[in-house]
Amino acid sequence: MKSSTKCAPKTDTNMQAIIDTRFLITHFLAPDEETKKWTKTILETLQKEPNLGIIPSIVIHEFYKFEMQTLGIDVANIRINIVLKSKLVVSDLDSDIAIEAARLRCRYADLPTADAIIAATSINSSANFVLTDDKHIRQIKETKTKWILT
């Protein structure tokens, strides 16, 4: 059975995580203080050491587009700059990730391209998990997912 667990507020500082768009959206638009506290704690933990928190460049695209359409360009610019100036690492799409994403899309017929790129980034970086509750990514046997407590 596919592994999908909820993140505790303290994560192992040696764990490497891929950050999905849904996590960033949840962080910035947290429905309550408890959720905001969990996401903040997770992000702080992933920035304690280099390369613990990785954001695929497609997530930058999706997050910025969502913020711009939902809250306007000024808010989108502020929030994307917070992400880009953090100690999280942005992983650019390269040919290895692109090929792995194509393989995943062939294996999982309903897998959107962006989700395939996110999962492929996780596989190619040997990350421990993807921070997401996305059903498309959760179905991929080659990756593990975790989500925040709600």
Q: Is residue 124 part of a domain?
A: yes
Q: Is residue 130 part of a domain?
A: yes
Q: Is residue 7 part of a domain?
A: no
Residue 149 pLDDT: 60
Distance set, CA 125 to CA 27, 45, 62, 102, 118 (Å): 23, 19, 20, 16, 11
Question: Can you give the residue range of the structural domain that contains 72?
Answer: 15-147
Please tell me the total count of domains within the chain: 1
Amino acid letter, 138: R
Quick check: 132 pLDDT over 50? yes
Q: Is residue 45 part of a domain?
A: yes
Q: Is residue 105 part of a domain?
A: yes
Residue 148 pLDDT: 78
Quick check: 15 pLDDT over 80? yes
Quick check: 13 pLDDT over 60? no
Higher pLDDT residue, 34 or 7?
34
If you average pLDDT over every residue of the chain, what do you get? Answer: 91
Q: Is residue 9 part of a domain?
A: no
pLDDT in tens, 79-100: 999 999 999 999 999 999 999 9
Amino acid letter, 125: S
Give pTM, 2 decimals: 0.88
pLDDT in tens, 30-56: 999 999 999 999 999 999 988 899 999
CATH of the domain at 23: 3.40.50.1010
The count of C-alpha atoms lying within 13 angstroms of the C-alpha of 54, restricted to the half-sphere facing its C-beta, is 24
Q: Is residue 80 part of a domain?
A: yes
Q: Is residue 93 part of a domain?
A: yes
